[in-house]
């Protein structure tokens, strides 16, 4: 135990039910959603249960649109799948016109699909926990 002349810190009586803002230290009510003095806002905590894996979505995008469907964007996934048909036809024409080098253009489409699925937010809704059923 160390000896110090500093007084012991006692919580003030007016501090009950209050919290300090993490950014500026302004006293806020315990359940405050934002601070009036700065731009702090309370963020909801996200659990891993309701979040789709970005890496898995990118891997599934080898088939264009499948990663979007995995992340909950069904319409975007079907549009990426539908867009693969004209892209494939264009690549086939470009491959004939360029002695096969145009076939590499399809990888540009795949990479664009993978980058898009990496950047979008999830729409996966976690299942409601009903507890144990007897």
**Is residue 56 left, alpha or beta, with left meaning phi > 0 and alpha meaning psi from -120 to 50?**
alpha
Q: pLDDT tier at 33 (50, 70, 90 boundaries)?
A: confident
Q: Once rounded to an integer, what is the mean pLDDT over residues 66-73?
A: 91
DSSP tag of 76: H
Dump pLDDT digits (tens) for 43-68. Answer: 755 555 556 688 899 999 999 999 99
- Please state the domain extents for the chain: 11-43, 52-119
From 8-12, 34-38, 42-46, the region with the lowest mean pLDDT: 8-12
More confident residue, 51 or 69: 69
Contacts of 75 (CB under 8 A, 6+ apart): none
Work out the percent of the chain whose per-residue pLDDT is above 90.
Answer: 38
Q: For 73-113, what is each residue's pLDDT tens digit?
A: 999 999 999 999 999 999 999 999 998 899 999 999 999 99
User: 131 falls in which pLDDT band (50, 70, 90)?
Assistant: low
Query: What is the spatial distance between Cα 36 and Cα 134, in angstroms, rounded to a whole number?
Result: 48
Find the angle CA(96)-CA(102)-CA(103) to the nearest 5 degrees.
Answer: 95
Residue 10 pLDDT > 60: no
Please provide residue 27's backbone torsions phi and psi, each rounded to the nearest 5 degrees.
Answer: -75, 130
Residue 49 to residue 22: CA distance in whole angstroms = 27
């Amino acid at each position: 135990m160390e000896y110090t002349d500093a007084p012991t810190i006692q919580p003030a009586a007016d501090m009950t039910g209050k919290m300090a803002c993490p950014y500026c230290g302004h006293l806020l009510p315990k359940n405050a959603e934002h601070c009036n003095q700065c731009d702090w806002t309370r963020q909801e905590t996200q659990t891993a249960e309701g979040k789709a894996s970005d890496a898995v979505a990118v891997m599934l995008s080898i088939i264009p649109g499948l990663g979007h469907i995995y992340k909950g964007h069904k319409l975007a996934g079907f549009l990426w799948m539908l867009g693969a048909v004209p892209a494939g036809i264009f690549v086939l024409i470009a491959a004939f016109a360029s002695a096969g080098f145009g076939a590499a253009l399809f990888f540009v489409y795949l990479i664009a699909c993978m980058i898009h699925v990496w950047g979008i937010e999830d729409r996966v809704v976690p299942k409601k926990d009903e507890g144990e059923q007897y």
